[in-house]
C-alpha cells in the first residue's frame, strides 16, 4: 500500500518527523518497506518580499526591483510582469535554481542592468495555469522559506507492508485510523453527500443477487449527464501518488475513492447496459458453462463455473471485483453512469483472479475482504466527487441489495487473559484505552470487557485477536523479558541423535568434508547409474517440479555427491572427500507418503592431500573408502560387520562390495564404474559408499563395551607367509588363522600381500601361477606369565597344519 | 731403566694416545692396547710378581697411579667424544622450521549444519529436546493444523511442491494431491503436540522446500530451525527473554533485539525479530541497508486454534513458537553473497568457515 504523506496529513494530524512515524508504524505491525520522495522540490526557489519597484531606465515594459529573500543583501531583479507592487510576497528563483520547464537561473544583464534572480509565475513553477503574471502570495508567507516547503509541493510516499489480516489498512482512511491510534491523535473520516435530483435511481436500475454468500451486498447509483474528460490536477496528483495512472475523470474518481476508503468501485456506461423499458437489470451470479466475456483489456475470456459475474439482460458485463467488460466501458461519449459499490466473497474473487492471471487493485482488496458496510458511504462519496469533477446530476437514492447484512460481532476480553498471555500487568482501564482508538466499542462488564468489533476489522473474531491488538499498541518493547521456568522438562539430544553426530565427527576426523545437496533427484540418473529399482519401489514424483532434472525426490545420495565431485574437478580441485547424511525417498503403489530413509554416503577421489615435500600423495582407491568405514565402525564399537564382494551396476566389477551388519546387507562400497564416471563427467577413480544410518545406529546400540585387562606380560610374535590360490580371500585366511590359533593367539595382522607381476617370465616368478602370498604377524600372549618361544611352538605348528589344510595353502619359505 | 721409569714412560705414551684418539672406536683400541688382557700396562702389572719385596710396594703404588690416571683420562676422553658426536648429530639434524608440517586432512562440517548445531547447543542448554519429522508431509500438518485457511495462497501450486499420491485416495481434493514437501519445519510442532503432553520444549531443525528458482537470494530447498514451547504460564515475555538469550549467545552480548508485531497464521500475537546491525550498532549503514536492524526470525504465541487441532487446552496451557533460516543466519554471519554456494559442494567454499 502506497501512502502519500500529504494525503495522509489531510486526514490525520501527523506532527512527528517522517522517520519517527515510520518507526512507530514498524513497531506496531505495519512495516514501512520504503519511503519515496515525490513531487517538485523546486530547489533554490524561496519566498521573497518586494522592497522597491522602479521603472527600468531603458525598457518600458521592465521594472527594476529590490527583493528581500531573508539574506543579508536584498536581490536586484529585473522583471517583466506588472501584476505586483512593492510589499508583495512572491516566489523568487535565485541564481542556480532550475525550474520545472528546464530554465536555469543565471546572473544576467537585461538592457544594461544586472538581474540576480527571477520572480516566478505559477506556470514557471509548474503549479498552475496562469502565465500572465507573478504568483502573489499571502502577506503571511514567511520570507526566505523554500517555496516548495511553504506550498506543500514535496511529498513522501510510504510503502507499507500490509499483513493479510489487515484489509482495512489498504485504504487511506484505514491507515489514518491506524496512525491516529499509534501516535495518539484524532483522524478525519472523508465523506460526501451528493445533491440529488431527477428520476430516482430505482427507476433506472434493478439489482438481483443469485447467491448472497458470494455477494453479500450490491449497491448501484445513477449519475446522469456527465462530461467525460481529464481529471483536475489534485485528483491526478493523488491517484498518481497512490500508484495508478489517470484515465478519465469518472474512472479516476472511482480509483480515488477506492484508495481513500478502501471500497473498489466500478462505473458502467448506463447507456450501454441492456435494459427493458428503460430499466437496467443487474444480476450478480456465477458463470454458466461456456460463457465468455471480453474484458476492458480487449481479451476474450472463457469462464469457469464458479466465476462471479455482473450481468445485464443480455449477459456478462463484468468479472465481479476483478475487471469490467469492454462493452459497457465508460468512454468519451458516455453521459449516464451506473456506479457499482459492492462486496464480494474473497475466495471467489481470489480464485477468479488467479485462474485468469488478472490481478488488479480491486481484486487485491476483495481478496483480503472489503467491509460490506462501506458500500453506500463510498458510493455517496464517489457520486458527489463525480458530480464535482465531471458535472452531471446524481439521481436520488441508492439501489441497495444487502442480503448479507450481519450484526456487529461482540467479543469478550478478559484482562487476566491478556496478562497471562503477554506477561504484562495491565488493568482493564489500560486495555480499554489501548483498544478504543482503533474504533472498537469497549464496555466493561462484571468480569470482562465486552468489545464490539466494527465491520472494517473482520480479522478480529476471537479473544486472542484482541490480545494481539493490546500487545502491539502497548508495544512489544514494553513487555518485560523473562524466561520459562518449567518443571519436569528434559532437554538435549537423544541417544540416536548423539550417535549420528559421532558418526559425522568421525568422518570429519577421517578427512571427509560434509556436503548438503538437493533432495531432488533426476529420474534420468536411474539410467546414468544403471540403477534398477526393486519391483516394489517407485520413485517419489513431484507434481509440479521446477525442472526435469529435479522431477523426483532422490532415492540415493550418490548423484548429489558425484555432481559435487564433478563441480570441484571442473574447477581444478582434484582432491575431493565428501560425506553427506540425508534423506532418501522411495514410495510404492498404495502409499500416500513415501518411505524416508536417512542415508550416509561418501565419495572419495584424488589424494588425501596434494603430494608435498614430505608426503607422497597417492591415489585414493577402494581401500581408502573401506578404511573410512572401518574407522566409523570402530568408533561405534560395531564388531559384527563385514564386507562381501557383490555386483552393483554402478560400481566397477571386482571393486564392489556389500556392507553387512549382523547378517543384513545395509549398504555398499566400491569404485564407480567407468560408464558412471562418464555419465557424471567425473574423472576416476571415485570411491563411493552408501549405508543406512538406521543400521549404523542399531549396530552402535548393540555394542557392549566391557573392560578387559590391559596386557601385563610380553608377547611372542611369529610371522607366517602363506601361499594360496588367488580366489582365497584374505578374510578366509584370517578367520582360519584365528580359529586354529588356540587360546594364546591374541591377534592376527595381515602385513603383506605379494603377487608376481602378471606375465612375468618363469625365471622371475617367485610363486606358482595363480597364487598369491599373504604374510601375517601372529601375536601370542598369556595373561599370567611371560611366554617363551618354546611355549608357543606347538600351538604354532598345529596352526600351520590346520590352516594350510583349511585354505589349501602352504607356508612360503 | 727401572721398572718405575718404564711405567712413567708408558703413562706418558698412553695419555698421549688417549688424547689423540679421534673416535670412540680409536679410543677403545687405545684402551685395549694398554688395559686389555694383552695390554702393555697389564703386561707390566703381570710382571710384578717377579719383583723383590722391597721394590714391590713402590712399583705397585706407581702402577696403580698410572692405571688410575689412564682410566680417568679414558673416561674424560670418552665423555668428550660422546658429547662431540651428539653435537655433530644435532647439527646435522637441524631443519628449516618454516617448511610446512606433515598434515592429515581434517574434514569440515557444512556451515549450515555448523549453525544448526550451534543453535541446537544453545537451546539444549535451555532444556529443549530435538524433534524431527518427515520432509514429505500431508497438507493437514503443513497447513490445516497450523491454522492456514483453505484458500491460503501458500498452498498454491506455484509456491508449494506437491507429491504424487499413490494411495488411490482421491477423496481429499479431486484430481489434486494433499501430499507435499513441507514448506516449513512447523508441521513438526503438530506431530510433537499430538504425541507428547506438555511441558513441551523442542527444537526442530530440518530441510524445507518452496518453489523458488535458485538464484543468489533464493533456493528451492533451505534449512529451517523451529522452536516450540508449551507449558503452563508461558508468556510473550518468556518468548522475548528466550530469543534475547539466543541472540546474545549466537551473535554476542552487545547485539540488541527488537520485536516488531507481524502476522503468521499459526501464532498470535506474532512478531518478526530484528538484531541490531553488527557494523553500525543500530545507527544504519550500507551493510544493513540503512535500517540499523537485520531481520532474523519470526515468532509468536501459539494460536489457540492450533491447540484445538491437537487437543491441548488453551486455557490451561500457553506456548510460543519461533522459526529461523540457517541460510539467512549464515549469510548474516559470514556475508555469503549467493545462496547457491551452499548446495554446490565446492570444497574451497566449505573450508572458509
Ligand atoms: Zn548497519
Q: Does A478 touch chain B (CB under 8 A)?
A: no
Grid cell for residue A590:
498404495
The pLDDT mean for chain A works out to: 92
| Cα first-last separation, chain B | 90
- Out of A275-289, A337-351, A411-425, least confident range: A275-289
Q: Ligand 1: distance of its center to the CA of A342 in Å?
A: 47
Grid cell for residue A379:
458510493
Alpha-carbon distance A416 to A10, whole Å? 39
Exposure string over B261-286, b if 16+ CB within 10 A, otherwise e: bbbbbbbbbbbbbbbbbbebebeeee
The verdict on a CB contact (< 8 Å) between B345 and A165 is no
pLDDT one-digit tens code per residue, A265-274: 999 999 998 8
pLDDT one-digit tens code per residue, A307-318: 999 999 889 999
> CA of A337: how far to CAs of A239, A318, A384, B136, in Å?
21, 15, 13, 55
94-153 in chain A: CB under 8 A from chain B: none
The string of DSSP letters for A618-684 reads: ----HHHHHHHHHHHHHHTT--SEEEEE---TTEEEEEEEEEEETTEEEEEEEEEPHHHHHHTT--S
Q: Does B105 touch chain A (CB under 8 A)?
A: yes
The verdict on a CB contact (< 8 Å) between B345 and A509 is no
- Out of A2-11, A154-163, B35-44, B45-54, least confident range: B45-54
pLDDT one-digit tens code per residue, A276-304: 788 899 999 999 988 999 998 899 998 88
Instruction: State residue A40's pLDDT score.
Output: 66
For residue A685, say if its preceding peptide bond is cis, omega within 30 degrees of 0: yes
Please give the average per-residue pLDDT across A420-428, as a whole number: 96
Alpha-carbon distance B323 to B182, whole Å? 14
Please report, to the nearest 10 degrees, the dihedral formed by the alpha carbons of residues A221, A224, A227, A228 taken in order.
Answer: 40
Please give the average per-residue pLDDT across A139-150, as a whole number: 85
Task: Report which of A363, A123, A334 is spatially closest to residue A248, judged by C-alpha positions.
Answer: A334
- Percentage of residues in chain B having pLDDT higher than 70: 98
Instruction: State residue A58's pLDDT score.
Output: 87
The pLDDT mean for chain B works out to: 90
| Cα first-last separation, chain A | 92
Grid cell for residue A616:
607422497
Please give the average per-residue pLDDT across A316-342, as a whole number: 93
418-457 in chain A: CB under 8 A from chain B: 420-424
**Number of neighbours of residue B4 by Cβ within 10 angstroms:** 15
Residue A347 burial (C-beta neighbours within 10 Å; 0-12, 13-18, 19+): middle
Please give the average per-residue pLDDT across A514-538, as a whole number: 96
pLDDT bracket for residue A129 (50, 70, 90): low
Instruction: State residue B65's pLDDT score.
Output: 87
Q: In what order do the strands lie in the sheet with A595-605?
A: A513-514, A576-586, A595-605, A686-692, A664-672, A651-661, A641-645
Contact B299, B228 (CB under 8 A): no
Q: Give the torsion sign (CA, A794, A797, A802, A806).
A: positive
Contact A519, B221 (CB under 8 A): yes
Instruction: State residue A112's pLDDT score.
Output: 85
- Is residue B212 helix, strand or coil? coil
Q: Tell me the H-state helices in B266-320.
A: 304-310
pLDDT one-digit tens code per residue, A542-567: 999 999 999 999 999 999 999 999 99
Q: What is the DSSP letter of A104?
A: B
Alpha-carbon distance A313 to A321, whole Å? 19
- Out of A434-448, A507-521, B165-179, least confident range: B165-179
558-587 in chain A: CB under 8 A from chain B: 560-561, 563-565, 567-568, 571, 573, 575-579, 582-583, 585, 587
pLDDT one-digit tens code per residue, B191-226: 999 999 999 999 999 999 999 999 988 999 999 999
In the predicted model, is pLDDT for residue A122 greater than 90? no
Q: Ligand 1: distance of its center to the CA of B307 in Å?
A: 39
- Is residue B224 helix, strand or coil? strand
The verdict on a CB contact (< 8 Å) between B236 and A421 is yes
Contact A313, A341 (CB under 8 A): no
Instruction: State residue A789's pLDDT score.
Output: 86
The verdict on a CB contact (< 8 Å) between A614 and B346 is no
CA angle centred on A171, ends A169 and A173, rounded to 5°: 95
Instruction: State residue B242's pLDDT score.
Output: 97
The verdict on a CB contact (< 8 Å) between B238 and A482 is yes
Reported as type and span, the H/E element at residue A316 is strand A315-319
Please give the average per-residue pLDDT across A386-410, as a whole number: 93
In the predicted model, is pLDDT for residue B171 greater than 60? no
Instruction: State residue A704's pLDDT score.
Output: 80
Please give the average per-residue pLDDT across A687-709, as a whole number: 90
pLDDT bracket for residue A354 (50, 70, 90): confident
- Percentage of residues in chain A having pLDDT higher than 70: 99
Grid cell for residue A92:
523568487
Q: Ligand 1: distance of its center to the CA of B297 in Å?
A: 18
Reported as type and span, the H/E element at residue A582 is strand A576-586
Q: E-strand spans in chain B? A: 129-130, 136-138, 179-181, 200-209, 221-231, 257-264, 267-276, 293-302, 318-325
Q: Ligand 1: distance of its center to the CA of B249 in Å?
A: 20
Grid cell for residue A8:
495522509
Alpha-carbon distance B136 to A319, whole Å? 38
Q: For residue B263, which residues of chain A lie inside 8 Å, CB to CB?
A: 29, 163-166
pLDDT bracket for residue B151 (50, 70, 90): confident
Please give the average per-residue pLDDT across B28-38, as a whole number: 87
Q: Ligand 1: distance of its center to the CA of B276 in Å?
A: 8
Q: What is the 3-state secondary structure (H, E, C) of A17-83?
A: CHHHHHHHHHHCCCEEEEEEEECCCCCCEEEEEEEEEEECCCCCCCEEEEEECCCCCCEEEEECCCC
pLDDT one-digit tens code per residue, B317-329: 999 999 999 999 9
In the predicted model, is pLDDT for residue A374 greater than 50? yes
**Number of neighbours of residue A702 by Cβ within 10 angstroms:** 14
Highest-scoring range by mean pLDDT, A194-203, A670-679, B77-86:
A670-679
Q: For residue B135, which residues of chain A lie inside 8 Å, CB to CB?
A: 519, 583, 585, 596
pLDDT one-digit tens code per residue, A177-219: 999 999 999 999 998 899 999 999 999 999 999 999 999 999 9
In the predicted model, is pLDDT for residue B173 greater than 60? no
In the predicted model, is pLDDT for residue A6 greater than 80? yes
Please give the average per-residue pLDDT across B113-133, as a whole number: 96
Alpha-carbon distance A653 to A481, whole Å? 64
The residue among A164, A421, A565 with the most chain B CBs within 10 A of its CB, best to mutate, is A421
Alpha-carbon distance A113 to B225, whole Å? 76
- Is residue A118 helix, strand or coil? strand
The verdict on a CB contact (< 8 Å) between A492 and B129 is yes
pLDDT bracket for residue A702 (50, 70, 90): confident
Grid cell for residue A393:
446530476
A489 alpha-carbon distance from chain centroid: 34
- Is residue B135 helix, strand or coil? coil
Alpha-carbon distance B299 to B263, whole Å? 9
pLDDT bracket for residue B174 (50, 70, 90): very low
pTM summary value: 0.84
Out of A479, A565, A590, the one facing B166 most closely (by C-beta) is: A590
Phi, psi (degrees; rounded to nearest 5) at B37 = -60, -35
In the predicted model, is pLDDT for residue A98 greater than 70? yes
CA angle centred on A141, ends A140 and A147, rounded to 5°: 170
CA of A541 to nearest chain B CA: how many angstroms apart? Answer: 6
Q: Ligand 1: distance of its center to the CA of A417 in Å?
A: 38
Q: Ligand 1: distance of its center to the CA of B294 in Å?
A: 8
Contacts of A624 (CB under 8 A, 6+ apart): A604, A608, A687
Instruction: State residue B177's pLDDT score.
Output: 86
Task: Report which of A221, A633, A234, A619 is spatially closest to residue A401, judged by C-alpha positions.
Answer: A221
Q: Is the confidence metric ipTM above 0.90 for this complex?
A: no
Alpha-carbon distance B289 to B277, whole Å? 10
> CA of B94: how far to CAs of B84, B87, B99, B100, B101, in Å?
16, 11, 12, 15, 15
Amino acid at each position: 500500500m502506497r501512502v502519500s504523506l500529504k494525503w495522509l496529513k489531510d486526514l490525520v494530524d501527523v506532527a512527528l518527523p517522517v522517520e519517527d512515524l515510520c518507526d512507530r508504524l514498524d513497531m506496531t505491525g505495519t512495516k514501512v518497506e520504503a519511503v519515496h520522495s515525490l513531487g517538485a522540490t523546486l530547489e533554490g526557489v524561496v519566498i521573497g518580499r518586494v522592497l522597491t519597484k522602479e521603472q527600468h531606465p531603458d525598457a518600458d515594459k521592465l521594472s527594476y526591483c529590490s527583493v528581500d529573500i531573508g539574506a543579508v543583501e536584498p536581490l536586484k531583479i529585473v522583471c517583466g510582469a506588472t501584476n505586483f507592487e512593492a510589499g508583495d510576497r512572491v516566489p523568487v528563483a535565485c541564481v542556480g535554481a532550475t525550474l520545472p520547464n528546464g530554465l536555469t537561473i543565471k546572473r544576467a544583464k537585461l538592457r544594461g542592468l544586472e538581474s540576480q534572480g527571477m520572480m516566478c509565475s505559477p506556470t514557471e513553477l509548474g503549479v498552475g495555469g496562469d502565465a500572465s503574471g507573478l504568483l502573489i502570495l499571502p502577506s503571511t508567507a514567511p520570507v526566505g522559506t523554500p517555496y516548495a516547503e511553504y506550498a506543500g509541493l514535496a511529498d513522501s510516499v510510504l510503502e507499507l507492508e500490509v499483513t493479510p489480516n489487515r484489509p482495512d489498512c489498504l485504504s487511506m482512511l484505514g491507515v489514518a485510523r491506524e496512525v491516529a491510534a499509534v501516535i495518539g491523535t484524532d483522524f478525519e473520516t472523508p465523506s460526501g453527500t451528493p445533491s440529488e435530483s431527477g428520476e430516482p435511481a430505482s427507476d433506472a436500475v434493478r439489482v438481483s443477487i443469485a447467491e448472497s454468500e458470494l455477494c453479500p451486498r450490491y449497491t448501484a447509483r445513477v449519475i446522469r449527464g456527465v462530461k467525460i474528460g481529464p481529471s483536475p490536477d489534485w485528483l491526478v496528483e493523488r491517484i498518481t501518488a497512490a500508484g495508478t495512472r489517470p484515465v478519465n475523470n469518472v474512472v479516476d474518481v472511482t480509483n480515488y475513492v477506492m484508495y481513500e476508503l478502501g471500497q473498489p468501485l466500478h462505473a458502467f456506461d448506463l447507456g450501454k447496459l441492456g435494459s427493458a423499458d428503460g430499466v437496467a437489470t443487474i444480476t450478480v451470479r456465477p458463470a454458466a458453462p461456456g460463457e465468455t466475456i471480453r474484458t476492458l483489456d480487449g481479451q476474450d475470456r472463457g469462464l469457469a463455473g464458479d466465476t462471479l459475474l455482473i450481468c445485464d439482460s443480455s449477459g456478462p458485463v463484468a468479472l465481479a471485483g476483478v475487471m469490467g467488460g469492454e462493452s459497457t466501458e465508460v468512454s468519451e461519449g458516455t453521459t449516464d453512469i451506473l456506479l457499482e459499490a459492492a462486496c464480494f466473497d474473497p475466495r471467489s474473487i481470489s480464485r477468479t483472479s488467479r485462474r485468469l492471471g488478472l490481478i488488479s487493485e480491486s481484486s487485491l482488496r476483495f481478496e483480503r475482504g472489503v467491509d460490506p458496510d462501506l458500500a453506500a458511504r463510498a458510493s455517496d462519496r464517489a457520486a458527489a466527487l463525480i458530480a464535482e469533477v465531471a458535472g452531471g446530476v446524481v439521481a436520488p437514492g441508492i439501489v441497495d441489495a444487502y442480503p448479507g447484512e450481519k450484526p456487529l460481532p461482540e467479543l469478550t476480553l478478559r484482562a487476566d487473559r491478556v496478562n497471562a498471555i503477554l506477561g504484562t500487568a495491565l488493568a482493564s482501564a489500560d486495555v480499554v484505552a489501548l483498544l478504543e482508538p482503533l474504533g472498537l466499542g469497549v464496555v466493561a462488564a462484571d468480569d470482562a470487557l465486552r468489545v464490539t468489533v466494527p465491520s472494517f476489522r473482520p480479522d478480529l473474531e476471537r479473544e486472542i485477536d484482541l490480545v494481539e491488538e493490546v500487545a502491539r499498541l502497548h508495544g512489544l518493547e514494553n513487555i518485560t523479558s523473562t524466561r520459562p521456568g518449567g518443571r519436569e522438562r528434559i532437554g538435549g539430544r537423544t541417544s540416536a541423535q548423539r550417535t549420528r553426530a559421532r558418526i559425522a565427527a568421525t568422518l570429519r576426523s577421517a578427512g571427509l568434508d560434509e556436503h548438503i545437496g538437493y533432495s531432488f533427484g533426476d529420474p534420468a540418473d536411474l539410467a546414468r547409474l544403471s540403477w534398477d529399482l526393486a519391483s516394489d519401489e517407485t520413485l517419489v514424483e513431484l507434481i509440479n517440479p521446477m525442472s526435469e532434472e529435479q522431477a523426483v525426490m532422490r532415492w540415493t545420495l550418490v548423484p548429489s555427491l558425484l555432481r559435487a565431485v564433478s563441480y570441484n574437478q571442473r574447477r581444478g580441485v582434484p582432491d575431493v572427500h565428501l560425506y553427506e547424511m540425508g534423506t532418501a525417498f522411495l514410495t510404492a503403489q498404495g502409499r500416500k507418503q513415501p518411505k524416508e530413509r536417512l542415508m550416509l554416503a561418501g565419495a572419495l577421489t584424488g589424494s588425501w592431500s596434494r603430494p608435498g615435500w614430505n608426503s607422497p600423495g597417492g591415489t585414493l582407491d577402494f581401500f581408502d573408502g573401506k578404511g573410512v568405514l572401518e574407522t566409523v565402525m570402530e568408533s561405534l564399537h560395531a564388531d559384527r560387520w563385514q564386507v562381501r564382494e557383490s555386483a552393483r551396476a554402478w560400481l566397477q566389477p571386482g571393486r564392489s562390495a556389500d556392507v553387512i551388519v549382523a547378517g543384513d546387507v545395509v549398504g555398499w562400497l566400491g569404485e564407480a564404474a567407468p560408464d558412471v564416471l562418464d555419465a557424471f563427467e567425473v574423472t576416476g577413480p571415485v570411491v563411493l559408499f552408501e549405508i543406512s544410518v538406521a543400521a549404523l545406529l542399531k549396530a552402535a546400540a548393540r555394542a557392549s563395551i566391557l573392560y578387559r585387562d590391559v596386557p601385563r606380560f610380553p608377547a611372542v610374535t611369529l610371522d607366517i607367509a602363506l601361499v594360496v590360490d588367488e580366489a582365497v580371500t584374505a578374510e578366509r585366511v584370517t578367520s582360519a588363522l584365528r580359529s586354529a590359533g588356540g587360546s594364546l593367539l591374541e591377534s592376527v595382522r595381515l602385513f603383506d600381500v605379494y603377487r608376481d607381476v602378471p606375465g612375468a617370465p618363469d625365471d622371475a616368478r617367485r610363486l606358482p601361477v595363480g597364487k598369491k602370498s599373504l604374510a601375517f604377524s601372529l601375536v601370542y600372549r598369556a595373561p599370567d606369565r611371560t611366554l617363551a618361544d618354546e611355549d608357543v611352538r606347538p600351538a604354532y605348528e598345529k596352526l600351520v597344519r590346520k590352516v594350510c589344510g583349511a585354505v589349501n595353502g602352504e607356508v612360503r619359505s | 731403566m727401572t721398572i718405575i721409569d718404564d711405567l712413567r714412560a708408558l703413562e706418558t705414551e698412553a695419555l698421549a694416545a688417549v688424547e689423540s684418539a679421534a673416535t670412540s672406536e680409536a679410543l677403545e683400541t687405545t684402551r685395549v692396547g694398554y688395559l686389555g688382557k694383552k695390554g702393555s700396562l697389564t703386561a707390566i702389572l703381570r710382571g710384578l710378581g717377579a719383583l723383590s719385596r722391597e721394590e714391590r710396594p713402590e712399583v705397585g703404588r706407581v702402577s696403580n697411579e698410572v692405571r688410575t690416571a689412564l682410566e680417568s683420562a679414558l673416561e674424560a676422553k670418552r665423555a668428550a667424544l660422546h658429547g662431540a658426536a651428539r653435537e655433530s648429530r644435532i647439527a646435522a639434524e637441524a631443519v628449516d622450521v618454516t617448511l610446512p608440517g606433515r598434515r592429515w586432512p581434517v574434514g569440515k562440517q557444512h556451515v549450515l549444519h555448523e549453525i544448526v548445531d550451534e543453535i541446537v547447543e544453545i537451546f539444549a542448554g535451555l532444556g529443549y529436546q530435538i524433534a524431527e519429522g518427515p520432509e514429505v508431509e500431508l497438507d493437514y500438518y503443513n497447513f490445516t493444523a497450523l491454522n492456514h485457511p483453505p484458500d491460503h495462497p501458500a498452498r498454491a501450486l506455484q509456491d508449494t511442491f506437491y507429491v504424487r499420491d499413490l494411495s488411490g485416495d482421491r477423496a481429499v481434493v479431486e484430481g489434486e494431491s494433499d501430499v507435499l514437501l513441507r514448506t516449513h519445519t512447523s508441521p513438526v510442532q503438530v506431530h510433537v503436540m499430538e504425541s507428547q503432553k506438555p511441558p513441551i520444549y523442542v527444537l526442530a531443525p530440518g530441510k524445507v522446500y518452496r518453489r523458488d528458482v535458485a538464484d543468489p537470494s533464493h533456493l528451492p530447498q533451505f534449512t529451517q530451525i523451529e522452536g516450540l514451547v508449551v507449558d503452563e504460564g508461558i508468556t510473550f515475555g518468556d518468548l522475548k527473554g528466550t530469543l534475547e538469550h539466543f541472540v546474545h549467545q549466537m551473535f554476542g552480548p552487545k547485539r540488541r533485539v527488537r520485536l516488531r508485531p507481524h502476522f503468521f497464521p499459526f501464532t498470535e500475537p506474532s512478531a518478526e525479530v530484528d538484531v541490531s546491525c553488527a557494523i553500525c550498532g543500530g545507527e544504519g549503514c550500507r551493510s544493513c541497508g540503512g535500517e540499523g536492524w537485520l531481520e532474523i526470525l519470526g515468532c509468536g504465541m501459539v494460536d489457540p486454534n492450533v491447540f484445538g487441532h491437537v487437543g491441548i487446552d488453551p486455557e490451561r496451557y500457553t506456548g510460543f513458537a519461533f522459526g529461523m533460516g540457517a541460510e539467512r543466519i549464515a549469510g548474516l554471519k559470514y556475508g555469503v553473497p549467493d545462496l547457491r554456494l551452499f548446495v554446490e559442494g565446492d570444497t574451497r567454499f566449505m573450508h572458509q568457515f
